[in-house]
Structure 1
Amino acid sequence: MNRAKTLPSILLIVFIHQFCTSLDTITINQPIVDGNIRVSTGETFALGFFSPGKSSYRYLGIWYNKISEKSVVWVANRDSPINDTSGVLSINSHGNLVLNNRYQTTPLWFTNVSALPTNNCIAQLLESGNLVLFHSGSAIWQSFEHPTNTLLPNLKLGLDRRTGLNRFLTSWKSSDDPDTGNFSVRINPEGYPQLFIYEGHVPKCRAGYWNGVGWSGVPFMQKVGFIFSYSYVNNENEISYSWNVVNGSILTTGVLNESGFFHRLKWHEDKGRWEEFASLPRDQCDSYGLCGAYGNCVRRNGEIDCTCLPGYQPKSPQEWYRKDGSGGCVRKNQTALCRNGEGFVEVTNVKAPDTSVARVLANLDLKACKDECLRNCSCTAYASMGVTEGSRCLTWYGDLLDTRVFTEGGQSIYVRVDALELAQYANKRKDLLARKGILVIMILSVATAVSSVVLFSYCLVRRQKRLSQNGQHEMFTSSSSTLPDDHPREKELDRSGSDPHLPFFDIDTIVEATDNFSNKLGEGGFGSVYKGQLSNGQEIAVKRLSKQSGQGIKEFMNEVQLISKLQHRNLVRLFGCCIHKEDKMLIYEYLPNKSLDYFIFEKSRKQLLDWKKRFEIIFGVARGVLYLHQDSRLKIIHRDLKASNILLDASMEPKISDFGLAKLFKEHQIEAITKQVVGTYGYMSPEYAMDGLYSVKSDVFSYGVLILEIISGKKNTEYDKESPSLNLIGNVWKLWREGKGLDIVDYSLLEHSYPCEEILRCIQIGLLCIQEHPADRPTMLEVVFMLGNETSLPSPKKPAFVFRTQSGQESLITRGEVCSINDCIITMIEGR
C-alpha cells in the first residue's frame, strides 16, 4: 500500500469526523452516537452522552462546553439509563427525536410530537443551551419546556394555560444519579401565584409572590438586580418567570440540588469553579409554616424563635413551636371580628403570609385596601402588592401562614385585631411616643453634656433597631407563656398511640360547655352533634359518637390525628377531643349554617343559594380536596366526600369535615386496596365499590357527584320520574348527550339570571370527574384549573352507575362511548 496516498486519506477522514462532531444540528442522516457530541455555535454548550460522578451508566445530556468543570444542565433519559456505550440519538420516520440502544427497538426516550414529514425536521442545539426540534423552520419541541434540575437564562418556569404544560425543576436523586429526585421548584397558581420548593407534594420553602422586581420572600435577591433582568407574566395565557444576564459574558445558573436547596451560581474563571451568591432556603425560618398559623418566625443572633402576630397567642404555651407546623397561634379574645370596632395593626419587615388564601384588588391604594378588607368580615389581613405593581393590594381570607421577619427588606402587612387589642395597641403607642418625647426633652436639657447626648442617642438607635428587627412593635409582641384564666382545661392526650400534643378536653369542660348536651344540632349514624360554648366565649360543635357507631376508637383516633395536622380555609378546624369511659368526642369549630345538604336538598332553603354562591362552594370544596391530595403536609384520601360532610360557615364558605374514613398515603403511593369497603352509597367510585381499590381519583369521583348535586339540587340516589331507570348521573348523561344540559339545573335558580356557559362548563367538569376509569378522570389540580380558567375541556366518556336494575341496585356501565356534544353558546333559556 502507498503510504503517501494513505496518510492524506486518514487525515481527511479525521478532519471530516472532527468537522461533523462539531456541528450543532441533528438530521435524519446525521444521528449522534455515544462518543460524538454536538456543540452550539458559540461553543458554550455541548450535547452528547456522559456518565455522572462515579456512575457507569450513560445518559444523553447537555453541559457547559467551555468550562473545566463538567456541569450538566439537562438530561433526556434521566429515568432510563443505558448500560453501555450503545446509545444513539436520531430523528425517526415520524419526525421525533428518539434515543435508542443499538440492540433494542424500544426507545428509551423520545419527544412524542405529532407525526410529520422527516425531510423537513431538524434538531439544533442553540447557544442558550436549548435543544430545539424544528419542522419547516417552526419549533415543535424544545428541551426548555422540559427542564430537569437547572434554571438557565431565558428558560421559563410556570404554567401555559393554553396547553396545560407546566414547566418546573426536579432534583437529581444524587450527584451520581440524575433520576427524578424528591424535590421540585414550581409556581403554584392557587390564590395569588407564588414560587415554592416542594418535597414531594409538601411545601418545603416559599419564595413568595412576584412584587414587580423579585419574589417577595427573597428580598436579598433584589440586591443583585443590576446583574439580571427578569420577566414575569401572569395573564389568561400563562403564568411564567424567567431571567437573563445583563452582561452576556457572565456564566450564571440556578440549580436545585438533591437535598432540596436551590443555589444561584456564578462561574469564577480564575478559580475554575462555580461560586454561590444566593440560595434558598437560607435558614430554618425559611422552612414552610415552621411557626404554624398566625406565627411569625424571627432569627436573632443565629437562633430561631417563633412569636405570634398581633392579637394572637400560642395555641399550646407548653410547646407551641413544632416542626410539623401544627402549633401556631390562636386569637387572644373571642369577640366577633365583624363590624365590632376592630381594626388593623402594622407588622413590618416581614415576608407576607402564604397568598394561596389571598386575593388581588386592582386600582386600590393602601387606604382603599384597608377599607375593603374591613368591610369583609372574612378578611384577616391586607398589604400593598409591592414595589412596581401600582395601585394594587392583597387581602387574605384564611389562616396567615408562613410569615417571617427579615433583618433587611421585607414589607408591611396589616393584621386584623379586635377592638380591645386595637385599644391596647393605641395606648401603648401613645405611651411609647410620650416616652420618646420625654427622652427628647431630657436630651435637650443636657445638651451641654455631650456624653449624655451620645448615651441617649445610642440607646434610642438601639431601641429602634431592635423594634425593627422584631418585625413588629414591641408593645404588641405576644410573649405570654400561659393561657388566660378562663381558658378551658386541657390535658395532653396520652392514650391509644395518639399524638401527645393534641388538645384533650376533660369531660367536665364539655358538659359545662354544652349545658349537659342539651343543644343538639343534628344526629347521624355516627352519633349526635351538640352546640356548646367554652368559658372563654369560643363556640364549639361537639361530635359525640354513639356506642353503636361504626366509628370505633381506631377511626376516632384516625380522624383526630389527621385533621389536627391540616390547616386550610376549606377544611373544618378541630380544637381537640375528649375520651371519657365509653364516650368519644371530637370538638370542632362551630359553623352556624350547618351542612350543604341542609340547603340544596330542601325545597324551602335551596332558594337561599344562588348560582354565584353555589359556584363558590364548588370551587371551595375543590381547593380543599386539592389541599388534601397535594398541598398539605400529608397526602390524604377522604373516602367519604358528600354533601352532608360539607359544612358552611357564617359567610357560607364550605369546609370539608368528617375524616373518620380518611386514609393517609405515602408520598409516592398511587393507590391502595381494602377488603372492607366503607363510605356512602351514591358517592363511591366503581373501582372502590366493587374491588376495594381507592386512590385520589376515588375522591375525584365523589366530587363529580357533588358538583352535579349542587347544580341540580337533587341527590344522586333520586330517580327521574320520566326515566325511572336513571339516577341523577344517568339523567345528566342522557341530557348532556342530547344537548340539553341546562335541563338539570335546579328549578330555584330559574328565578334568577345565571351564566349558562359557566353552568354547562361545571356540568362537563362533573361528568369528567365521574368517568368509569380512574385514569380518565382529572386530578384535583386539573379540576381547580378548569374551574378557574376558560380553557377548552375534553369530552367526557360515559360515566359509571347510570342505571338501576330491577333489584334497585346501581349497575356499572363499561366501555362508554365518547360524547360529541358541541361547545355551543346558550343565549336563551326555554321553559321545561
Structure 2
Amino acid sequence: MFSFRVLVLISGCFLLTEAATNILNHGDKLSSNSSDYLVSPEGEVSIGFRKQEYGRTWEDRDSAYYLAMWCTEQDTSYHWVWLANRDDPIVDNSGALIVDDTGLKITRNGGDPIQLFSLRSTSMSINISDTRVVLQDSGNLVLQGTNEETGENVVLWQSFDHPTDTFLPGMKLGVIRGRRLSLTSWLTDSIPASGSFSLEWDPVGNRLVIRLRERVLWSTGHILSLNPNKMYNFTYVSSLDEQYLYYTIVASEYTPAELTKSARLEFHYYGGLEFGGSRLVIFDSRTCAGDSTENGCKRWEGTKCRNKGDKYEIRSIRYTNQDALNDTLLGNTSLSIDDCKDICWKDCSCFGVNAMMDLGCQFLSGPYEEAGLDGTSFQVIIRNGSRLKTWIWILIPIAMALTIIVSISALFYLRRRRQIRMEEEFVLGLMTSDDASDIRELRTGNNGHNLNIYTAQMIVSATNGFSPENLLGKGGFGAVFKGTLGDGLEIAIKRLSRGSTQGLVEFKNELILIAKLQHTNLVRLLGFCVQGDEKMLVYEYLPNKSLDSFIFDDSKRKLLDWDKRSSIIEGIAQGLLYLHKYSRLRIIHRDLKLSNILLDENMNPKISDFGMARIYKTNEAGSNTNRIVGTYGYMSPEYAMDGIFSEKSDVYSFGVMVLEVVSGRKNNSHFEFGRPLNLVGYAWELWKHGAALELIDPSLSDSCPKQYQVLRCITLGLLCVEDSPSDRPTTSDVISVLNGEMQLPLPKHPAFSTGRRIVEANVVDKEMENYSVNGLTMSTMHAR
C-alpha cells in the first residue's frame, strides 16, 4: 500500500590511485567540479558534489546538486549512502565544501551558506588553523580539531550523527543525549529530500520501527533479531543519557568478495527490506495495509468506510467529468504518492490517487470506469467483494474464544501437575542429598546454629499477606519482603517469583551454601520454605538495606564519611577472605556488587545473595563454566570472555566496588578523558596522570584529612582490576594492604569493563545469549 526507500550498505569497493586524498584541511575547499572529491584511505567510499535529475518526462525534468557520499565503484544516486544537503539542494554547479574560521559549511552562488558546524557551538578552545575534515573507510565524514588546553585531537562534528537513508556499521540509531537519530526515506525514487517514511530504534520496546509520518507500519517485535545468515552482530546500549542500536560485521565468516556481494541490508524505495544478494525479503510496506499483524506489520484503525481486504491497485481508468478530480493538494511538493494514498485512505469520499504524480496529490473523488490504453493510471482503492453475514462474524470469534479457553485450561492443568511433581522431587532431593546432611545437622542445633523450615502460612502472616508496604526491593531472584514473626523477630524473606531469571538450581545452591557459612560480614540465613508454588529463603533483617542505596544517593552518601567507608571496605574484604580461605568450603561468590552488600543497624557490611556462588576446590588453579551469570562490569575479563573463574574473579569485583565507594559513582557512569570511559578507565587515567585524588567523592571533602589512605584505596582498587589474574592481589594481600602491613606495587593497565549486564552466555560458542525474532541477532545488555 505504501512505498519506502532506505539503503543499508556494508561492503568495500576498490582502492583508487595514491593521489586521491581523504583530508580537507583548513582553508581548502571541495568544489562542484566533477573530478574534485575525497576518497577514504582504502578506497571504500568517496564524497563530492553530484547532480541529480528528476521528473517524469524529459520536458519537465529538473536538476539539483548535492554533497553526496557513495561507494567508490558505484557512483550512482541509487547508491548514495549520505547527503549533506538533502533538504536544501543547490540549483547550479557553484557549491563548495569549505573548512574556515567559522567551522564547516557549503557555500553557493545566490544563497546563504549551508552551515554544517559552527565553532561558536562548542565551549572548547579550538586551534582554528588546525581544523580539518577526514573521510574514513567506515563512511564517516569527521571534522577534527585540536583542543588548545589539552593538546588532544577531538571530534567536533561527524556525519554519523546526521544519518539520512543509510545505516552503516558503527552508526547509531536511537536517542543520544536527548537527540533522536533515525533514517528517513527519499521523497520519491529520484528526489533525495526527506520523505514519508522513517526507520527508528524504539528504546522502550527494544525494537526497530518503520513509520509513515506518525503511524507505525512495522516493527521487529519486542527483541530485535533479523540475522539468519549471521553476517552481523547487533548491539543495544542503554544508559542514563543514551539508548541506541548499532551493528558490526562478522567478517571472519566470509571472504571480502562474499561481503561485497551478500553482506548488506537494503531498504528499497518500494518498501522492501531484504538481504543483499540473497534476495530474502524481510519487509515490504505494501503488505502492511493496517488490518494484518503478520511479518511485523502493525494494525491501525481505519475509517468506517474501509473494510478488511480493501487495498490499492494500479488501474487504467476513465472519469466522466472534471468534477471527479480533486486538485486541492496538486501543487504541494512536500507530499509523495505515499502521503497521498494515506490521505485518501482516511477520506471516505476518495476512490484513488493519480499514480503518475511525482509530487502533490490529485484525488479521484467521483465516478469512474475502467479503460484501456487510453485511460489515466490511478492507484484505486479496490473494495473487498466477499462480505460475510454479520452473524458469522459474531460466531467465529465466539468459537475461537471458547477453543482458546479450553486449550489454555487443559494446558494449565497439565503444567500444574508437572510443576507439583517437580517440586515434590526437589524437596525430596534437597532433604536426602549429600549436601542436605549439613542442613539436617544445622536444624538439629549442632555447631550452635539452627536452620528452620517455615510454613507458607507463617510467612504470609509475618508479611501481612506480602503487603506492598513490606516490600524491601526486587532482584533477579524475585521480591524481598520484611516480616515480623510471632515472637517479634524481624526477618527478610526472599520470595522466588514465577518469572524469575533464577530458579530451583540457584535456590538450592544459595540454601545449601549459605547454611554452611557463618561470619560477621556475611548475611545470616535463618531458614527456608518450600510449599506448593512458594519457594522462599528467610534471612536476618538488616534495617539499612544495601550499600548502593547510600553510595549512589546524593543525600544519603553524605551520611558515610571516610572512616565509615573505609570500615565498610575492610568489612567486605574480611567477609571475602572468610569465603576464600577460612570457611568450611572454599567459595567463589561470582556476583559481588554494591547492591549485594547489606548494612546492619551499625552500618556494618554483610555479603548477601549466594545464588550464583560456586564451591572451589582447594587444589584448583581455576575453574571453567559454560554458563556465565552475574553483572557485566563487575565481572573479570577471563570470566566474562572464557568462563574461567577463581578467587581472583571476586578480587576483580571487589576492586570495582572499592572505586565506586571512594568516588560515589557507578562503574557504568560516563566520563570523558579524551575519549568516553567508564569508572575503571577514568580512575586509571587519573592515576596515570598523577591526579588520582580527583576521583574522591566531593561529599568526602570535610571528612577525609588523610588523603594517603584514600590514595591507597584507589591504588588497591586498580590493582584488583588488573587484566591478568596473576597480577591481582590475593584476598589476604588485600587485608594486609588495608591494615598498612604491605607495600603497594604500581598498578598496570586495568581491564576496562562496560558496566552492562550479561543475562546469560554460552561460553562454548563464545557468544552471549541471543534472542531471535524474524532472524536478526542482537546481544541484549542492560545495566543491572
TM-score, normalised relative to structure 2:
0.39
Per chain length, whose mean CA-contact separation is higher, i.e. which structure has more relative contact order (CA < 8 Å, sep 6+)? 2
Which of the pair has more CA radius of gyration? Answer: 2
